Structure 1
Amino acid sequence: MPSKTVYEGGCLCGAIRFEAKAPALNPHSCSCKMCQRHSGALTTVWIEFSKEAVVWTGPNGKPATYRSSEISSRAFCANCGSTVGAIDDGPVVALLLGGFDNADDKALIPVAHSFRDSPPEWWRIEIHNE
């Protein structure tokens, strides 16, 4: 029986850690204003997982959250302030690719880009799939 892929990662200080079991769903980048303000970056890369596939393993347990919309809360470490993702009211947890210990897995490569017209004109995102 093949082993299941488990992705690990966490915040800057290590108080918030996660394990996310494959499959990784809807890997995409986003440049909307909410993502920009949440991350401090012009573009973020999100990897979605079913809520049941994500386990919070760090010493602080689950991340702190901020209710950012009618359907989702942004997740962050209350200790170091690192953003780790978003926890939707529905069955999805979206984790930011920068928090993964190993972001080289091909299943994590973005397949789409949302809100292309939101960042400054000089910022260009190109998605290249093999």
Structure 2
Amino acid sequence: MSNSKEYDGGCLCGNIRFRALGPAHNRHGCSCKMCQRHTGALTAAWVEFPRASVQWLGAGGALATWRSSEWSSRAFCPVCGSSLGAIDDKPTVALLVGTFDAADDEALHSSD
């Protein structure tokens, strides 16, 4: 597939690293109170990948999660506390755009 691309990222301390294989889907912003508290920002920028397309590569292995709703868990680094995304019960991982090494990559921002 020609749209396939690798996107690397991770937390503030480097304990959690990830690689997401694209294309990226469902790029969106959210300003709900849960997203505000999860990120500390008024609006969170999200991009989704199928769960099978995300690999956890850092020394910390998989990230820590906190169950935030009936369908999703918020994900963060257990060492530095960086918010990384959300792991949904459906096979979706929503990652915060700011956690990508190349967060300015247009493919993480342009609409589907």
After TM superposition, the score normalised by the length of structure 2 is: 0.94
Distance 1:3 1:31, change over 3 A: closer
| Equivalent in the alignment of 2:80 | 80
TM-score (normalised: structure 1)? 0.81
Bigger shift: residues 2-11 or 86-95? 2-11
1:72, distance to aligned residue in structure 2 (A): 0.3
Secondary structure, aligned partner of 1:98: helix
Once the two structures are TM-superposed, the CA of residue 111 in structure 1 deviates from its matched residue by 3.5
CA contact (8 A) 1:50 1:91 kept: yes
Aligned residue in 2 for 1:14: 14
TM-align CA RMSD = 1.7
Gaps in structure 2 of 5+ consecutive residues = none
In 1, are the aligned partners of 2:3 and 2:22 still within 8 Å (CA)?
no
Larger radius of gyration: 1
Tell me which residue corresponds to 1:99.
99
Q: Provide runs of 4+ in structure 1 moved above 6 Å.
A: none
Cα deviation for residue 4 of structure 1 reads 3.4
Structure 1 residues 12 and 31: CA distance shift in structure 2, 3 A: same
Q: C-alpha distance in 1, partners of 2:59/2:50?
A: 22
Q: Percent identity?
A: 62
